[in-house]
Structure formats: structure tokens, C-alpha cells
Amino acid sequence: MIYCGIDWAERTHDVALVDDTGQLLAKRHITDDAAGYKILLDLLAEYGDSEQNPIPVAIETSRGLLVAVLRTGKRQVFAINPMAAARYRDRHSVSRKKSDPGDALVLANILRTDMHAHRPLPNDSDLGRAIAVLARAQQDATWNRQQIANQLRSLLREYYPAALAAVDPWKNGLCRPEARELLRLAPTPAQAAKLALRQLQAALKRAGRKRGIDAEAERLRNVFRDSYAHQPSLVEDALGKQMLALLVQLEAACTAAEDLAKAVEDTFPQHPDTEILLSFPGLGVQLGARVLAEIGDDKTRFADARGLKAYAGASPITRASGKKSSITRRWVKNDRLNHVGYLWAFSAITASSGAKAHYRRRRDEYGDWHAAAQRNLFNRMLGQLYYCLQHRTLFDENTAFPTELTAAA
């Protein structure tokens, strides 16, 4: 057997090949371009890499063009965590010296000695990987939009409380088109107090509002003309300019989140697992796409449901040493899937009577707090999802929560 290790960098990469005995067979320094990738593939072919007998490769990243090139065919690519690679490095150098060629050799030796303890990149379909890109991008855009909205809210509290009072009854608050249009029209409270009723009506229409325009414009005018404390006029004008600059960022973040959500809605229904995912209570198109993005569509990725639960951080972990033992939640997990789990469980409580009964039983009989009860519900539904995906069956309420439904009845 031949094993390959690649120390990845932004512009160049170091490659090392070792045999079963740990003997260094070859090393190369390649560039991050098509010419460098060809040198790497030629080097692997020189040492016996073929479609029938591919050489496994260890690298410290799971993304990028280099990984895409390596994943062609049946070659196994192992994404080694840099922290794990650092621990292996200490086996060969007590002085803790570090070099790129040395790291490539360490990665190759990880596969030589402990390949069974590491998991290769899943063999997901191209459609599944495309959905993963869009779903993760939409999730990042949503987080970015909320972060900018929080910054804008903090700024408005310093000089413009009328704006916060105006958007308070609206769902999504500052992220709504009406709120952004009003702030663009009147960046300071002094300007907002001078707005006429027709100007407010026109602003609501430009934002896309169709109903209740007259009543809403009247409410906004009363809010803006109410009495509030004010900053000095020069300071207020300066804060208004700062707010407009932040508003441009919020506009871009809202547009990105909406465009990516539309892309997910167009792509996700094309996947064969979509019907199964959407059959679960609490999972819509966006959350279902995020779940698929993290677990993938490679049915051999997880040996059983316990592996999926541990990967998501839903199952507890037991730490025991001597006479001491503790059962706690997992800290090392897929953070994206774990975040989706809380949203999924929260929605399932209202969408499924069995899920709600299970949640109440965890709260009342076991004394779980809200987060712990939700995590337990997420853990159970992940096991059900694993079964449905493996057996190609849809979610069934009576099968999933037979005891809870009987108790609820």
C-alpha cells in the first residue's frame, strides 16, 4: 500500500508518499493551479494509482479545487483536523519543530497507521453537494443579516428611538422593506417628524405594501411626531450618515438572503430525499435543505443512527475516570446541524402532537430544562430520520410516537 499526505496552503502544497513501512518514497512541492494538479496526479500514477487501486490521500481541508480534483474516481480523501495532525506531529518531533514537508509526511503516516480511525469524505452526489453549498450560504446570509440588524438597532437606540417604536409591531422589524424604506427617507428623527401623510403612504407603497396603507401611515406619523429626547443637531446628522452606511449593508444582506433562499427552493425539490425530509413535522424547504446539506446523501456515511446523533451533538456523552462519571452534552459536533436541530425541534412541538407530548414528558417527568428537552426530541427525530432514509419510507406519526399519542389521547 502507498499513502499520500498533502500539506495544503493558499498558493503551494507539499506532497509526501510513504509505503507500508513508513519509508518516504517521494515528495514534491506543487503550485495551486492546473499545472500543479497535473504534477500531483502524474506522481500518484507513477506509484501505482489507478481506478482499481487508488492511493488514499490525507489533507487538512475538505473544500477547494485541489480536493475536487483528488475526489475524481474512487479515490478516498481523508480530511484530517489540523488539531489532530498537530498531536500526531509530536510523535515524530519532541522539539515541536514544524515544516510544510514534514507536515505532509505526518499526514501520510496518519493513514499508514490509523486510517481505520478516520473517516473519508462522504461520497455525496453532485446534486447533494450543490444543495449543501446553497443551504450553507443561505444560513450564513441569514446570520449576517441578523448581525447587521442588531448593529443597526444598537445605533438607532443612541439617537432615533422613534424608528424602533415604528417598526416594533412588524414581524422581522428592521429587516422588513418598509423599515428600510422609512430609514432611507428619514435618517434622523428631525426629518421623520416633518414627513407628511402622503410621503409615508408613498414610502409604504414603494416597499411593496398592499393593504392597510392609510391606517399604517397614520400610525407612523403619530409615532414620529411623539416627544423623544434628541441628540445635538450636528451629532444627530452625523449619526444619520452612519446609519445610512449601515443600512446599505443591511440592504445587501437582505437581498443575498432572499436570493439564496429562492435558489434553495428551486434546487432542493429536485433531490430524491426531499419527499422523505419534508414528511417530518417541523421541516420546511429551508430547514430540510440544511439537514440534507450536513448529513449528505451517502447512505454509507454513518454506520448506524448513533453515529448520526453523535455527529449532530444530539446524544449525550459519558465521561468516566475511576469512581467518577458524568453525562453531559457534546461540545465537539457539527455546529450547523446542531443549530438546525433546535429550530427543527421547536417547530415540531407545534406541528406534531406526538412531538409535543414527548417534549412535555421530558419536562414534567424527567425535569429537563427547555433546551435539554428540545435536544432529546431532536435526538429521537434524528434516529427516525436515519431509519426513513435507509428504508425509503415517509414519516408516520403513529409509528414515531405511539406512547406519547396514547398518553395525549
Output the pLDDT for position 72: 84
Average pLDDT over residues 58-70: 90
Average pLDDT over residues 77-93: 84
Cβ partners under 8 Å of residue 172, min gap 6? none
Q: Give per-residue pLDDT as tens, 158-209.
A: 999 999 999 999 888 899 999 999 999 999 999 999 999 999 999 999 999 8
Average pLDDT over residues 140-149: 95
Average pLDDT over residues 110-132: 91
What distance in Å separates the CA atoms of residue 31 and residue 40, rounded to the nearest whole number? 10
pLDDT at 407 over 70: no
Strand pairing report for 3-7 and 12-18: antiparallel
Cβ partners under 8 Å of residue 189, min gap 6? 159, 160, 161, 162, 163, 224, 228, 230, 236
What SS3 class is residue 328? strand
Output the pLDDT for position 408: 59
Q: Give per-residue pLDDT as tens, 220-269.
A: 999 999 998 889 999 999 999 999 999 999 999 999 999 999 999 999 99
320 versus 135: which is more confidently predicted? 135
**Ordered DSSP codes for 156-190:** HHHH-HHHHHHHTTSTTGGGSHHHHHHHHH-SSHH
Average pLDDT, the chain: 91
Closest-CA residue to 286 (of 96, 100, 142, 397): 142
> What does the domain layout of the chain look like in residue ranges?
3-117, 130-266, 275-408
pLDDT band at 319 (very low <50, low <70, confident <90, very high): confident
Using an 8 Å Cβ cutoff, are 225 and 193 in contact?
Answer: yes
DSSP H or E stretch at residue 68: helix 65-70
Name residue 296's amino acid: G
CATH of 3-117, one of 3.40.50.1580, 3.30.420.40, 3.40.50.280, 3.10.129.10: 3.30.420.40
What does residue 347 show for φ and ψ, rounded to 5 degrees?
A: -75, -35
Output the pLDDT for position 260: 96
